[in-house]
Amino acid sequence: MRKFSWFNATSLTFGFAFLYLPMLILIIYSFNESRLVTVWAGFSTKWYGELFQNKAFLDAAKVTIKVAFWSSTLATILGTMAAYIMVRTGQFRGRGLFSGMIYAPLVMPEVITGLSLLLFFIAIGLDRGVITIVLAHTTFAMCYVSVVVTSRLVSFDQSLEEAALDLGCTPFDAFRSVTLPIIMPAVISGWLLAFTLSLDDLVIASFTSGPSSTTLPIKIFSAVRLGVTPEINALSTIMIGLVTIGVISASLVSRSMSIKAKADERRAEQD
Amino acid sequence: MAQPKPDAIFAPWDDPAATPLIQFKNVTKRFGDFTAIDNLTLDIYAQEFFALLGPSGCGKTTLMRMLGGFETPTTGQIFLDGVDIGPVPPNERPVNMMFQSYALFPHLTVWDNIAFGLKRSDMHKDEIGDRVEKMLKLTQLEKFAKRKPHQISGGQRQRVALARSLAKAPKLLLLDEPLGALDKKLRHETQFELMDIQETIGTTFVIVTHDQEEAMTVASRVAVMVDGTLSQVATPDQIYEAPNSTYVADFIGDVNLIEGTVDVPEKNAASDAVSIRWSATEPAIKATSDLTFGAAATVHFAIRPEKVSISTEAPEADNVMSGKILDIAYLGNISTYHVEVAPGLIIKAQATNVRRVSRRNLTWEDHVYLSWTDTAGVVLMT
């Protein structure tokens, strides 16, 4: 055990305060009785009740979930395909260029991505709405998925696929029945990443959304411009809660899986 | 009534009427500028246990992967049962492979791993069950059918890989360094298991290995490969007793190589006698060879250490050399003596330790005599 020192305690406190104090204040004020955000007037949960009466927020939440679901699903399919092809085709002329082009959107400013997509949708005459946001989110989430899946595929023993071919699988059957089940954890975490990215994207969504398709971040952002309300605090607290539950349960699942795998290995050694 | 004929020795390669199962015809494989297989022609017969032996990078794995369908020849053809299998994809070949890493599917149980190939054939569901049970029995894995690959030991995994590759009853089974991951003792046991299984089911096995002992143990014939070509293809005893080059002699087992020139044959010498002069002062080595050599040709005389006798008194023999013991390697059952017979020329002699070490009469710096008969070694041109 390392000895307790004032220096360690201070740096720990400041570090965590820096990270979590703003969120803590937001959560506290979501339980504020007063309509004024900055004046404490006693504990109340009434803003949560009012939030669920607010149709505009609920509609925006529905749109956001719908967009996040479809765009992360599409991004996972396309990103996995891209990763598979980049890892499996081996060396060819222009390989570096291709893989660079898959990852470029990661560092592209969102404003530029949003603007170019907007111009593109106008050029092909596609009306802005849920579909355009889904397409826009798919394009940028797909590269995140492909990064996650690529790192799994690089360590994937290619002889497993060869064994499947050897035992009578067509290349597609080998992918479906051997490769995909094995890389599934990476595919799922890619999907979760894409879902989260879509859930909190503001910039690209505001370029590609239409009048009938406001997402929650857009709604919050435009509401805040007219002044922060306790309702928004309540909404943000719910989102923080959901994300926390998601992260904790994901880590619990993966930890229990690794404990089980270790126990299995120990059993194998004893035999 | 005619007596039943005694079992003939299995040697289809000596029978000109036998048709090979696999034929490589002038096969060349290039990867960019690198030639992995160089104009190779080879016949392998049904029911053989054929070993491809060579150092890493000699092309043995490429040759096997071409049989499996994972590589295609750059030029030349490969026939399996008379059919050119060049354009046939791996999933349509009657060939199965056991991978070096075993390549067991980690998400499936042992049972499902073995059934994997059968489910992709047109076999009926009940038959699949019977076949899997049979394979489990053959490899003594009945107890582990429900386990996942990471729940069993390395030796059991190796047997699952074997069972899976045999389940579809292929015409040809390819084994890529199948015992490489096992420890020495288990490897020896498994070698005999493999031979038993091969004899029981009669499938043609082609094994790739860099372990010469393994190749000698399991195989009916061994092909020694170097730089994408075949140095020698023969039975293990021929490879050992009659290597065709200093490379093969040196690669397989331990050998003494003595360079010399062919002497003019003596009058009334036997037609197969060769005498090799290796030193200006010492007597020439007397040997025999089926080959004929021109006078003064440079040759190598190769003799295995166990064919060299060591003694403290001058024996009566065709070849006798004397020298001083430099080193003794005690291996328990045998000892290898390094004897310097001329400046810079060390001959290794092996003797069985019939007596205990404390009673051994040979020790360092002793003056000893080495001797061997004229048929004990081979004369090699290259």
Which DSSP string corresponds to B69-85?
TSS--SEEEEEETTEE-
pLDDT digits (tens, 9 = 90+) for B162-184: 999 999 999 999 999 988 878 88
Q: What are the chain B neighbours of A162 within 8 Å (beta carbons)?
A: 68, 70, 90, 97, 99, 103
The DSSP output letter for A164 is H
Closest C-alpha among A246, A260, A259, A106 to residue A188: A246
Q: Answer yes or no: do B243 and B349 share one domain.
A: no
Its domain, for residue B97, covers 18-248
Q: What are the chain A neighbours of B148 within 8 Å (beta carbons)?
A: 264
Q: Looking at the DSSP assignment, which residues form a beta bridge with residue B24?
A: B42, B78
Residues 138-167 of A with CB under 8 A from B: 157, 159-160, 162-167
A165: closest chain B residue by CA: B91
Q: Given this model, what pLDDT does residue A94 score? A: 80
> In chain A, which ranges are continuous DSSP H helix?
6-30, 46-51, 55-88, 95-107, 110-123, 130-154, 158-166, 171-174, 180-199, 203-208, 216-225, 230-270
Phi, psi of B304 (to 5 degrees): -75, 145
Work out how many CB contacts closer than 8 A connect A with B: 71
Is A164 in Cβ contact with B152 (below 8 Å)? no
pLDDT digits (tens, 9 = 90+) for A145-198: 998 888 888 888 889 999 999 999 999 999 999 999 888 888 888 888 888 888
The DSSP output letter for A43 is B
Q: Answer yes or no: do A247 and A204 share one domain.
A: no
Dig out the tokens for A131 from the structure. Answer: 């579909």
**Any domain includes B80:** yes
Q: What are the chain B neighbours of A168 within 8 Å (beta carbons)?
A: 91, 117, 120-121, 168
B122: closest chain A residue by CA: A168
Q: Answer yes or no: do A159 and A246 share one domain.
A: no
* Helix, strand, coil tally for chain B in percent (to 5): 25, 30, 40
The total number of structural domains in chain B stands at 2
**Any domain includes B6:** no
Q: Answer yes or no: do A162 and A239 share one domain.
A: no
Q: How sure is the predictor about A264, in pLDDT bands with cuts at 50, 70 and 90? A: low
Q: Could you give the CA distance from residue A79 to residue A194 in angstroms, rounded to a whole number?
A: 10
Is B95 in Cβ contact with A166 (below 8 Å)? yes
Dig out the tokens for A200 from the structure. Answer: 């909190």
B90: closest chain A residue by CA: A166
pLDDT over 60 (residue A235): yes
Q: Given this model, what pLDDT does residue A178 score? A: 92
Q: Could you give the CA distance from residue B169 to residue B172 in angstroms, rounded to a whole number?
A: 8
**Any domain includes A244:** yes
Q: Given this model, what pLDDT does residue B184 score? A: 85
**Any domain includes B8:** no
Is A271 in Cβ contact with B153 (below 8 Å)? yes
A104: domain CATH number? 1.10.3720.10
Its domain, for residue A217, covers 54-227
Q: How sure is the predictor about B1, in pLDDT bands with cuts at 50, 70 and 90? A: very low
B359: domain CATH number? 2.40.50.100
Dig out the tokens for A192 from the structure. Answer: 């979760």
Dig out the tokens for B200 from the structure. Answer: 């029981």
**Which of A164, A178, A268 is closest, CB to CB, to B152?**
A268
Helices A180-199 & A55-88 angle (0-180, nearest 10): 140
Is B97 in Cβ contact with A163 (below 8 Å)? yes
CB distance from A264 to chain B under 8 Å? yes
pLDDT digits (tens, 9 = 90+) for B258-272: 999 988 777 667 778
Q: Answer yes or no: do B89 and B175 share one domain.
A: yes
Q: Is residue B207 helix, strand or coil?
A: strand
Compute CA B113 distance to the chain's CA centroid, rounded to the nearest angstrom. 30
**Any domain includes A8:** no
Q: Could you give the CA distance from residue B222 to residue B302 in angstroms, rounded to a whole number?
A: 20
- Among candidate residues B199, B215, B248, the one where a domain is terminated: B248
List the end-to-end C-alpha distance of chain A, in Å, as a whole number: 37
Q: Answer yes or no: do A251 and A198 share one domain.
A: no
Q: Answer yes or no: do B236 and B345 share one domain.
A: no
Is B70 in Cβ contact with A182 (below 8 Å)? no
Q: What are the chain A neighbours of B99 within 8 Å (beta carbons)?
A: 159, 162-163
Average pLDDT over residues B101-129: 92
Q: Could you give the CA distance from residue A14 to residue A11 in angstroms, rounded to a whole number?
A: 5
Q: Answer yes or no: do B173 and B317 share one domain.
A: no
Amino acid in position A135: L
Dig out the tokens for B23 from the structure. Answer: 């034929």
Indicate the average pLDDT of chain A.
86
Q: Is residue B235 helix, strand or coil?
A: coil
CB distance from A173 to chain B under 8 Å? yes
**Any domain includes B147:** yes
Phi, psi of A90 (to 5 degrees): 75, -155
Is A182 in Cβ contact with B103 (below 8 Å)? no
Q: Is residue B98 helix, strand or coil?
A: strand
CB distance from A176 to chain B under 8 Å? no
B167: closest chain A residue by CA: A167
Q: What are the chain A neighbours of B91 within 8 Å (beta carbons)?
A: 165-170
Compute CA B239 distance to the chain's CA centroid, rounded to the nearest angstrom. 8
Contact status, residue B222 vs residue B234, Cβ threshold 8 Å: yes
Q: Which of A167, A175, A257, A264 to mutate to test the interface with B (most CBs of B within 10 A)?
A: A167
B165: domain CATH number? 3.40.50.300
Q: Which of A92, A161, A166 to mutate to test the interface with B (most CBs of B within 10 A)?
A: A166
Q: Could you give the CA distance from residue B229 to residue B282 in angstroms, rounded to a whole number?
A: 38
Q: Could you give the CA distance from residue B254 to residue B276 in angstroms, rounded to a whole number?
A: 21
B172: closest chain A residue by CA: A166
Q: How sure is the predictor about B2, in pLDDT bands with cuts at 50, 70 and 90? A: very low
- Tell the residue number behind the tokens 């440079």, with chain if given: B298
Q: Answer yes or no: do A211 and A254 share one domain.
A: no
Q: Answer yes or no: do B172 and B278 share one domain.
A: no
Q: Answer yes or no: do B219 and B264 share one domain.
A: no
Q: Which of B64, B99, B114, B164 to mutate to test the interface with A (most CBs of A within 10 A)?
A: B99
**Any domain includes B10:** no
To which H or E segment does residue B307 belong?
none
Q: Answer yes or no: do B244 and B168 share one domain.
A: yes
Q: Answer yes or no: do B147 and B291 share one domain.
A: no
Q: Could you give the CA distance from residue A61 to residue A56 in angstroms, rounded to a whole number?
A: 9
CB distance from A97 to chain B under 8 Å? no
Residues of B with CB under 8 A from a CB of A: 68-70, 89-91, 95-97, 99-101, 103, 105-107, 116-117, 120-121, 148, 150-153, 156, 164-165, 168
Q: Smallest CA–CA separation between A191 and chain B, in Å?
A: 21
What is the predicted ipTM?
0.81
**Any domain includes A35:** no
Q: Answer yes or no: do A216 and A236 share one domain.
A: no
Predicted TM-score (pTM) of the model is 0.79
Report the percent of chain B where pLDDT is more than 90: 57
